[in-house]
Every structure is written in C-alpha cells, then in structure tokens.
Chain A
C-alpha cells in the first residue's frame, strides 16, 4: 500500500506546484493531474500529485468519522 498524503496547493509554476504538507512546503510535480488550481487538495505520492481530492466527499467522510467518534465516546 503506497504512502500518499493530502497536500494543499499554494502556487503553481508550469508543471510544478508548491504544496503544503501539514506545514512543510514541498515542490511537487503536477504533470500527472489535470485542472489543478491553487487551493485544491491533491494526493502526493513520491513527489508527484496523483489525484485531486474531492472536497464534498472528503467532508462526508470527515463527518462520518466525527459521528462515529461521538458515538464511541457516548458508549
């Protein structure tokens, strides 16, 4: 299972994007992903963006996790 982590796109210069991975700036290649904009979250794998993260879906998962957490705390 390959390590890959979400990062926020801060600026774009051609094929490269400066991204923030939890507070560390990194220059990632965005050659492999289409339509990346500043502010998007992309998955970074070994220096390359490999996918955009769908914000709506990510929020759904986040909410679900929060809900499970609350339930777990109550029980």
Chain B
C-alpha cells in the first residue's frame, strides 16, 4: 500500500519488480470468515463491532455493509478498545469483535481479552482470524514463487523482532530486509536488498531500527501467546498452512465467539467466481491478468478480497497503477 501510495514502482528501473505478498490481512482471509461475522450479527442480542477494513468485504451472500443497512447492529470501531467500551456500556448485549491481522494486531486482541478478564466482562467475544507471518513466507517459496528477496513488514516485526526471518535466510538463502513505511524507508530497503543480491550474500538486515528490535516486543509476544495458540489455518490462494493461524487457548475459551452459534463453519474454497486473487497473492500473476479486473471487479463493486481492502493488490493496482503511468 505505502509502496503504491508514494508511487514507488514508477521510480524503479524495469529489472526491479515488486510483488505484493500475502501481507494484507483482509485479502488472505476466507470468504467464510465474513459469512461467520454476518452470522454473528444476526444473532439476537449481538452487537458486532468491526474495524472499517472488513465492512465492505464480500461474503458468500452479503457483506457487513449490507447487513448494517438492513438493520443489524453493526458498529464500525477504530480499535478493539472501543469494542470493550461498548461491551461495558451494554451489559445486556453480547459484543463480538472479529479479530483480523497478523502479529501486529493479534496482541491487541489479546490485551483486550486480558482487560476484559480483569474488569469481569462476560459479554465480550472475539472471532479470531488472526494469522502469523513466518509460515506463509516459507510456504510461498515452497510453492515455487519466484522471488529474489523479501521486504519484510516493519510493523509485524515491531512485535516479533527480526529473528523470525532467520530461517528464511538460512533455509532458503533469500535476503530479508525489515522495512519502515516512509517513502525513503522503502527505497532504502530496496537498495539494501539489491545490494545483497548483487553481492550474492543474502542476509537479514533491519532498515527500520528506530522501531524494530531484534528480539521484538517481548511483553506483547507473551500476551499474545498466553491468550492464543497456533492452529492450522486457510489462506486465500494458498490453502491450509500448518500452525499459521491463532485460536484462543483453553484458558480463554469463554471469549470465543464461535460458541455463540451452532452452525458449522463453512468449507474454505478458492473458487471465487473466476477471481485469481490467489495467484496474484503468490506473485505469479498481476491483476492485469485477471479478466474481471476493472470490468466486473472494481473497488465499488468488488468480486475478490484483493479488490476490497485498499491495501489489496488489485485495489492498489486499480487505484494507483492502472495504465502504468
């Protein structure tokens, strides 16, 4: 997203190509997760609180946006903190918060649950679609995606530290540069990665030293792993990756929104009416290769998740790069 926002691709020579990996939490999340959030919102007494990111993502039948217009109590919040506040103010209702995001965001959900425990809130629930980064980075290479190095997400690394990328460098001989989000951060990171490739010495470098420590934010990691444990999870375009998602530990099961409804979670599938999001996420194709792109599928009327989140590859492409200026 930042990469497109600043117009960085237009500055690079032709032999440097940037692919957007599965770094957008909304894009990699299953359509069925949206169906689950919609199902939650239909339960009597539930107030569904959601981050703005999810509101327009299409589910199988409908989106939260449509359900809100149809009269469900769906509230857009900026933070899970707001959801806790709503739970405190509405003790007779059940407040559900869909947890999306990687290591940057999962500790926030964990902190909220710990706070709920402390203040004795028993009407706050999380529907977790939280995921973690390292398994998918390895899976991509295993799938044969042809890349020369990773620009690693700075704000995930703020929590995890740079250490999580060591196996990528060691096992796959690929360079990893942890990058900040200012335009010059990104340019510098690209430069560092190119330099590594030229030298033929892939290594782990940290461009974003001002916020990322090698060990990361240990307090946040501890909270995250007290409340969550890893589980196998499904990724759009990739499928099931072992130990790549987060679910609540037994100690905090009481906060799991899953218990609120009986219906079994749907089966995940990649077949989104001709959407090739998956291959785009893997960097095998660009949005221009999708026959639906900017025709049947636009940000106003998205088919796949990649078009919904403004950070999704297709939305970013549509918004910033169409017609390759």
Taking Cβ atoms with an 8 Å cutoff, the residues of A that contact B are 1-2, 4, 15, 29, 31-34, 43, 45-48, 50-51, 53-54, 57-58, 60-61, 64-65, 68
Contact = CB atoms under 8 A, between A and B. Distances in A.
Given A1-B2, A61-B185, A50 B209 contact: no
B219 interface: yes
A32 B104 contact: no
Interface in B152-209: 153-156, 158-159, 180-182, 184-185, 188, 209
Given A31-B115, A46-B78, A47-B78, A4 B155 contact: yes
A41 to B, nearest CB: 9
Given A45-B105, A50-B158, A33 B217 contact: yes
A50 to B, nearest CB: 5
Given A43-B211, A57-B209, A58-B210, A1 B153 contact: yes
B86 interface: no
Nearest to A51: B158
Contacts of B209: 54, 57, 60-61
Interface string B85-121: 0000000000000000110110110010011000000
A57 B155 CA distance: 16
B233 interface: no
A50 B155 contact: yes
A29 B315 CA distance: 31
A58 to B, nearest CB: 4
B243 to A, nearest CB: 21
A43 B156 CA distance: 12
A47 B80 CA distance: 8
A32 B78 contact: no
A4 B210 CA distance: 13
Contacts of B1: 1
Give the 10 A-B CB pairs with smallest separation, nearest first: A47-B79, A57-B210, A58-B210, A2-B104, A47-B81, A32-B220, A57-B209, A51-B158, A2-B155, A46-B79
Nearest to B184: A65
A65 B2 CA distance: 17
A68 B101 CA distance: 34
Contacts of A48: 79, 81, 107-108, 111
Given A2-B104, A47-B108, A51-B217, A29 B155 contact: no
Contacts of B181: 1, 4
A2 B184 contact: no
Contacts of A47: 78-82, 108
